[in-house]
Structure 1
C-alpha cells in the first residue's frame, strides 16, 4: 500500500501535457484502488484524491476514477456531486458515472431527475442502458413510466436494462410485469427478465413459475443462476404448489449445467425433502464446458464451479439446506481430486455450522493441500464451525508460503484464546513477517490471549512506527486491549492520532478513549 499511497499523493495527474504512459499508469492504479473496495477506501482515505481525478481531461482516466468511486461504496458516495457531473461528458464517462451512482443505490436518489434527463438526451445505446440501470438501482420510482418506454427499444441492451430497472423499482414497476415476462421468450433478454421478476416479489414469481423453471435449462450459466435465485424468492409457494417436483426432475437432465442449476434452485428453496436426490449428484463427475470458449485468451472469467460442476452445485445446495444428515458426504468430498470440489465442500461445512465440528478431523487433510485457496478456506472453516480439536494444527501454517494462509491461520487461532495461549511464542514470531497483513493478524491474535498478550506489549508498540499502515493500525488496536501494559505507550499513541492514514488515527483515538474510561 505504500506504493499506492505514494502514487496518489505525489503524481501530478492533471498536467496539461502528460504522456500516454502516465495516463495508463493512472488508470492502472485506479483499478487497483477500486478492487480494494469500501473498507480500504475508509481505512486509507483515498476517496477525495480519486474524486479530483473525475475532472481529468482524459476520458479514460475520468471514467476509471468514477468506477473507483462506485467501488468505494459509502466513501465514494460522499462525492456523488462529482460523480453526477460525469453524466454530461462523453459516453464512456457517462456510463462510468451511471454505474457508480447505481452502486450507491438509494443514497443517490436525489440524482434521479438528473439521470432521467441524461437518458432522454443521450444517443449512445450503452449509455442509455447504464442510465436505465441506475434509475432502477437508486429507486427513482417517479420515472417508472419513462423506463417502461424503453421496454420495446430496438437495442437489446436498452430493452434489457429497462426490464431490470422496472424490476428494481418494485411496486412502481409491477404494472409492467406482464411485459417483462414476455421477454423470457427472447434468449438475449432472458437474464434481465428473470432477474427483474425476482425483484418484483413472490406474487409475480408465482404467476410466471413455469417459465422461470424453464430458465434453469437456459444455455447461459448466469441466466440459470438468476432463475434459481428468483425461484428462491417464492420458496413457500414453490414448495406448496408442487413445482419443486419439476425442478427435481431436472437433476437428471443430460446437460450438466442444467443439473447444477436445479441443485442450486433446490438449495435456495430450502427443499430439504429433496436433499437425497441432490446428494446423488455427489457422484457426478461431469463438467459443463459449453462456455469454455468464452474464457479462451481471457475474453471472460470462467463461471463459478457450482454453475459448471454438478458435484459442486450439490455441495452448495446441501450447505444451503444445512443438511446435517449429509455431513459424512460433505466431509468425504474433501478427498476429491478437484480443488474446486474440495473448496465447495469446505464452504458447505461452513454453511451447516457448528454441527459440522464433529467431522473436523477430515479438514486436517486439506490443511496441507497443494492449492493455497483450499488451505485458506480450511482455516476459515475451522474458525467458523468452532473445530477446537484441530486448532492445535493451525500453528503449522504460520510458515505457509502464502501470506493469506498465514493470516487466516492466525485469525482462526484468535477465535479460541485458551488454545491460542499455548502457542503465544509462535504467534509472537509472526510479528516479524514481511507482510503487514500477517503482522496485524499476529497482533490481533496476541490481543485475544488476555494476560498472556500483555507480555508482548513493548514489541507490539514497536509496530506503531511501521511503514505499513495496516500494521500501525493493528498495533494501536492491540495495545488498546492490553490495559495498563498498552497504556504505558500513551505518548506514542497520541502521535498516531496525527497519522496520515484514517484507520490508524481512528484506532489510536479508540485506544486512548479505552484507557481513559
Structure 2
C-alpha cells in the first residue's frame, strides 16, 4: 500500500470519528490509538485491509477506503482519539484535493468534512465543479458537515440538479447545517412534493436534522406518515424535533392501528424518539407488544423511551407463555434497550438463558450485555455460552462480555481461544472493551500470533490484531517484527543498533516461557533468537542475556543452541581482549601521568624511571622501550638534567653573535670542501671535527648545543678519561645513573653527545673514547680535536676545519666593529680603516714568501684575529708572532695601573700549571681575585655565576686554551727548569710545547726538539714533535719579521 493511501486512510478514519468528539464524554484509551498507528505501519498490505473489521457493525456504503482492496468502512469510536492528530494534517489534506486520483479526492473531502475544517470550505466548494460525480457528492456532504452556511445558496441551486443523488445530498447537507440554514427550509419543503420518494426522504431527513427550528413543517411531515415508503423518515423527523412535535402524538397513536405494518413501525419509532414527551402512550405500545407480529416494533418504541417505560415491561413479560417467542424476544430487547435502568430484571433474563428457544437465549444474552457492568455477576453464565454450538448465541455472548468492559477482563484468555476458531469482528470489539485502559500482555499476544502458524491465510488479520490489541507497545512491536511471517525482519538494524539488539533479546527471553503451548511458534522463535544473536554487536554486559538464551535452547534440544554458544565464545574472547586493552590503557595513562610530573618530582624520578627493577617489571617492558625510542619521552626523561648535561658548554656566557659562521671544512677522505654549517648542520651520526687551536671548534660545538632541540650532553674530553658513560653518569643524579638504561638511550640516538678537546687527553683516554664511539655506532656523537697522530673511530667521518681564507680575514675583522672592548679608542669607520691598513701592511706581497705565508697562517686563526681586533681598536700594533705575550703586556700594564704593583706572573703561572696537572678548569678565585677581574676586562678570562642550593658563587675560567698555554709556558721557562722534560708525552701540554718552540732561546729550543724526536720515535706519537719542528723552522723568518 502506497504512502499516500496510508496517509489518506489515517486522516479519513480519524476524521469521521473526530466529528463525534463533542458527543463523547471521554476519548478512548491511548493504546487503541497507538495500536492502530502501529498496524498502519506494518509492511503487509493485508494488515491494512483488516482495519475496517475492527468495528464491523457500523458501515457506511458511501465511504470508499483504499486499503489494498476497496472496502466500505466507517469506524465508530477508535479514530475519535486520533482526531487532534489528524487535524494537524489538514494542510496536507487540502493539497490532496487536487490529486489526479478521484478516489483520493473523495477520501480527503470526507476527512475534511468530518474534521470540521470550516476554514477550507472554499476548497471544498471548488469540488462542486469536479467532473467526477462521486467527488461532487462527497463535496456536498462535507460542506454540510462543516456547517458552511455561506455556501448554502450554492447547495440550494443543486436542489434543481438533474441527478437525484445530488439533489438528495444537497438536501441532507442543508439539514446538516442545522439552524444556520433555517432560511433554506422553504426550499426543502418544496422537495416534500417531489415525485421521487428518494428525494422526498432526503428532504424529510434534512428538516428533521434542523430540529425545532423546522417545527412549522410538522403538519407536512405528518402527511407523510400515511405513505408507507416515507412513513419511517417522517416518524424519525418528528422524533428528532422532540417536544416541539408533541402535538402530533395523537396522529402517531392513530397510526399504531394502521393496517400497513411499516407505518405502524414508523409510528412506534416516532413515539419512542419523542422520549418522555410520549410517556402517556406507553400503554398503547404495551398493547402492541402482546401481538407477535407487532411486538418487535412496539419493543423498539418502548426501548427508545428508556427508563420511563421500565415498569411496564415486566408486567408484559410475566403473563406471557414462553411459546410466544416473538413477544418474549421483543420484550427482552426492550429491556436491553433500557440498559442499566432495567437491572432489576437481570434474574428474569438469566432464567431465559436456560430456555431451548435459541432466539430467546440470544435476545436475553444481548440484553444482559446491554446492561453492561450492572450485570457483571452473570459473567460466569455468559462464559458458559462461549462453548455453545450455536454461533449466534456465541456471538451474543461475546458481545455481552465485551459490553461488561474491564469487569470481564479475566475472560480475555477464553476470548482469545475463541479467536482461533471464530474470527468474527465482534470478538475483536469485545477484546477491545474488556481490555480497558491497558493493552494485551505478551502472553496473550503470543497466543494470537500462534494462529498464523496453523492458518497462514489469516496472517493479515492476526498481525493487525497483534499490533492493535497490543497497543503498539515496544515488546509487542519487537515480537511482531520477528514472528508471525513479517514481510521483512529488521536484521540490518540489529547489527547497527546495540540497544535494539539487547531489547530484542530481552523480549525474546520474556516470550520464551509463554511460547511453550505453541510448538510451531516456539520453533520460529528459536530461529530468530539465533539470527539476532549472530547479527548483533554484543558487549560483555550482554553475556548473561546470551547465556540465558543458550541455556533455554539447550534445554529443549534446539539445533540453534550451537550458534548462540559460538556467539558467546566470540564475545568472551573479545571481552578478554578488551580487558587487556583497558588494563594496557590504564597502565599507559599511569605512566603518562608519571611522565607529566617527572620533571618536577624527584621521588617519581628515583622510584619509577631511574630504578631499573621498577621500570622493567612495573613498566612491563614496553615503558623502557618507549622511553628509549620515542623522542618526546626521551626529552621528558632528561629534562631535569638538561642544565647539568650542558653545564660545561657554558652557554650562559656564549655570545652567538661572536661566532663567525663562514668557516669551511674539508672532508678528510675525499678532500671535498664545503661550508661548515652545511657539512654539520646538527649533531647527527658520528663526526670528528679536526682543527688547529683557536680556529673555532669549541665555538661551533657550543653553537650546536645551544641550538639543539634534542637532548645533548657536552663533555670536555679530559672528563672522559674514566670513560664516556661514566662522564655522563657524573652529570646525572642518584638513580638516574643506571648504566644499562643509559647505554640503551645512547645506542638508540636518544642522547646526542659532544666531546671537545680529544687532543688534551692521553692516548689511552682517546682509545677509551674511540672504543665507546665504535660500540655505540648508531649514536649521535660529535668530537673535536687539534691535529694529532691517532686512529679515529672507524664509524666516524672526519672533517678538517680550514683556516680562514684571505678574503675572510678582512670580513672577520670588520664584523667585530660592534663587539669591540669598552676601552676601544677606534670605532666605526676609523676602526675599519685601521683594519684595512693593518692587513695591507701585514699581507704585503712584496715581503718574502715565507714571511707572507707565516702572516697568513697566523691571521687565519679566528682566536688570534679576535685578539688582533681588540688591539687595533685600542690603537695597538699587534705582533702576530708574540700575540698572547703582547695581549698579556697590555693586561699587565692595566693591572699595574689599577693595583699599583706588577702582575704576579710567575706565581699565577705556577697556579695555572697546577690546575692543568689536576685537570681542573676553575681558576683559584680566592688567591687571585684582583688578577681575575683584570683578565676578564681584557677578554682573557670569563666569570660564570652559579647557584648551588640557594647559595650563589662565581667561577672563573680562561676564555681559550691558548691563554692557558701562555701562562703555563711561563712556568716552563727559565734556567734549570725540568718541566719541559717531565711532560713530553702528556697531551695536556701540547699547546705549551708549541709555544716553547717560539719562546725558548734557539739553542734550548733545538735541544728540546731533539728530545721530542726521540720521544716520538720511542712512542710512535708525533702529536707534539711534528708541529714543534714546523714552528721551529720559522724562527729565522720570525727575526726578519721582527726587523720588519
TM category, shorter: 0.5 to 0.7
1:190 pairs with 208, 231, 243, which one?
A: 231
2:301 pairs with 262, 265, 270, which one?
A: 265
SS at match of 1:368: coil
1:395 pairs with 392, 398, 413, which one?
A: 413
1:359 Cα deviation after fit: 2.4
SS at match of 2:229: coil
Cα 1:93–1:468 shift into 2, 3 Å: farther
- Residue 390 of structure 2 is aligned to residue 351 of structure 1: no
Find the aligned partners of 1:27 and 1:351 in 2 and give their Cα distance.
31
SS at match of 1:185: coil
Check whether the contact 1:231–1:265 (CA below 8 A) recurs between aligned residues. Answer: yes
- Residue 166 of structure 2 is aligned to residue 127 of structure 1: yes
1:459 Cα deviation after fit: 5.9
Which has the higher mean CA deviation after the structures are superposed, 353-362 or 30-39? 30-39
Which has the higher mean CA deviation after the structures are superposed, 378-387 or 26-35? 26-35
Which has the higher mean CA deviation after the structures are superposed, 31-40 or 155-164? 31-40
Find the aligned partners of 1:466 and 1:114 in 2 and give their Cα distance.
55
Larger RCO of the pair (alpha carbons < 8 Å, separation 6+): 1
2:330 pairs with 313, 327, 331, which one?
A: 313
Cα 1:317–1:189 shift into 2, 3 Å: same
Check whether the contact 2:208–2:237 (CA below 8 A) recurs between aligned residues. Answer: yes
Check whether the contact 1:272–1:323 (CA below 8 A) recurs between aligned residues. Answer: yes
- Residue 172 of structure 2 is aligned to residue 154 of structure 1: no
Check whether the contact 2:129–2:136 (CA below 8 A) recurs between aligned residues. Answer: no
| Counterpart in the other structure of 2:435 | 414
1:312 Cα deviation after fit: 3.5
Q: TM-score, normalised by structure 2?
A: 0.34
| Counterpart in the other structure of 1:231 | 271
1:56 Cα deviation after fit: 5.9
2:448 pairs with 415, 427, 430, which one?
A: 430
Count the aligned residue pairs: 412
Cα 1:224–1:127 shift into 2, 3 Å: farther
1:238 Cα deviation after fit: 2.3
Find the aligned partners of 1:315 and 1:34 in 2 and give their Cα distance.
32
SS at match of 2:234: helix
Which has the higher mean CA deviation after the structures are superposed, 357-366 or 82-91? 82-91
The structure that is helix-richer by fraction is 1
- Residue 286 of structure 2 is aligned to residue 248 of structure 1: yes
Find the aligned partners of 1:355 and 1:259 in 2 and give their Cα distance.
26
Check whether the contact 2:224–2:231 (CA below 8 A) recurs between aligned residues. Answer: yes
| Counterpart in the other structure of 1:118 | 158
Cα 1:94–1:222 shift into 2, 3 Å: farther
SS at match of 1:369: coil
1:129 Cα deviation after fit: 2.7
Check whether the contact 1:87–1:93 (CA below 8 A) recurs between aligned residues. Answer: no
1:190 Cα deviation after fit: 1.7
1:174 Cα deviation after fit: 1.6
Find the aligned partners of 1:32 and 1:364 in 2 and give their Cα distance.
36
Cα 1:135–1:392 shift into 2, 3 Å: closer
Cα 1:227–1:85 shift into 2, 3 Å: farther
| Counterpart in the other structure of 2:73 | 35
1:432 Cα deviation after fit: 5.1
Find the aligned partners of 1:318 and 1:365 in 2 and give their Cα distance.
22
| Counterpart in the other structure of 1:279 | 317
- Residue 208 of structure 2 is aligned to residue 167 of structure 1: yes
SS at match of 1:169: helix
Find the aligned partners of 1:5 and 1:282 in 2 and give their Cα distance.
60
CA RMSD of aligned residues (A): 4.8
Find the aligned partners of 1:424 and 1:213 in 2 and give their Cα distance.
57
Deviation track 1:462-510 (CA, whole Å, cap 9, x = no partner) reads: 44689999xxxxxxxxxxxxxxx99x979xxxxxxxxxxxxxxxxxxxx
Cα 1:443–1:94 shift into 2, 3 Å: closer
| Counterpart in the other structure of 2:349 | 330
Deviation track 1:299-340 (CA, whole Å, cap 9, x = no partner) reads: xxxxxxxxxx54443222112333233212322344556665
Which has the higher mean CA deviation after the structures are superposed, 209-218 or 332-341? 332-341
1:437 Cα deviation after fit: 3.5
SS at match of 1:163: helix
Check whether the contact 1:395–1:409 (CA below 8 A) recurs between aligned residues. Answer: no
**Higher Cα radius of gyration:** 2
Cα 1:56–1:184 shift into 2, 3 Å: farther
Cα 1:231–1:72 shift into 2, 3 Å: farther
Find the aligned partners of 1:133 and 1:234 in 2 and give their Cα distance.
21
SS at match of 2:228: coil
1:114 Cα deviation after fit: 1.9
1:426 Cα deviation after fit: 4.9
1:260 Cα deviation after fit: 0.9
1:282 Cα deviation after fit: 7.5
Cα 1:246–1:108 shift into 2, 3 Å: same
Check whether the contact 2:113–2:146 (CA below 8 A) recurs between aligned residues. Answer: no
Deviation track 1:251-285 (CA, whole Å, cap 9, x = no partner) reads: 233x61x2111122122223122112442598566
1:226 Cα deviation after fit: 4.6
SS at match of 2:203: helix
Check whether the contact 2:242–2:274 (CA below 8 A) recurs between aligned residues. Answer: yes
Cα 1:427–1:340 shift into 2, 3 Å: farther
- Which structure 2 residues correspond to residues 353-392 of structure 1 after superposition, within 5 A? 353-370=372-389, 374-375=393-394, 377-385=396-404, 392=410
| Counterpart in the other structure of 1:514 | none
Check whether the contact 1:33–1:68 (CA below 8 A) recurs between aligned residues. Answer: no
| Counterpart in the other structure of 2:608 | none
Check whether the contact 1:66–1:100 (CA below 8 A) recurs between aligned residues. Answer: no
Check whether the contact 1:83–1:97 (CA below 8 A) recurs between aligned residues. Answer: no
SS at match of 2:159: helix
Find the aligned partners of 2:268 and 2:98 in 1 and give their Cα distance.
38
| Counterpart in the other structure of 2:458 | none
Which has the higher mean CA deviation after the structures are superposed, 42-51 or 259-268? 42-51
Find the aligned partners of 2:133 and 2:264 in 1 and give their Cα distance.
30
Check whether the contact 1:282–1:311 (CA below 8 A) recurs between aligned residues. Answer: yes
1:191 Cα deviation after fit: 2.1
Cα 1:371–1:332 shift into 2, 3 Å: same
Find the aligned partners of 2:316 and 2:148 in 1 and give their Cα distance.
42
Q: TM-score, normalised by structure 1?
A: 0.63
- Which structure 2 residues correspond to residues 46-61 of structure 1 after superposition, within 5 A? 52=96
Check whether the contact 2:225–2:263 (CA below 8 A) recurs between aligned residues. Answer: no
1:74 pairs with 101, 107, 114, which one?
A: 114
SS at match of 1:154: coil
Find the aligned partners of 1:161 and 1:462 in 2 and give their Cα distance.
50
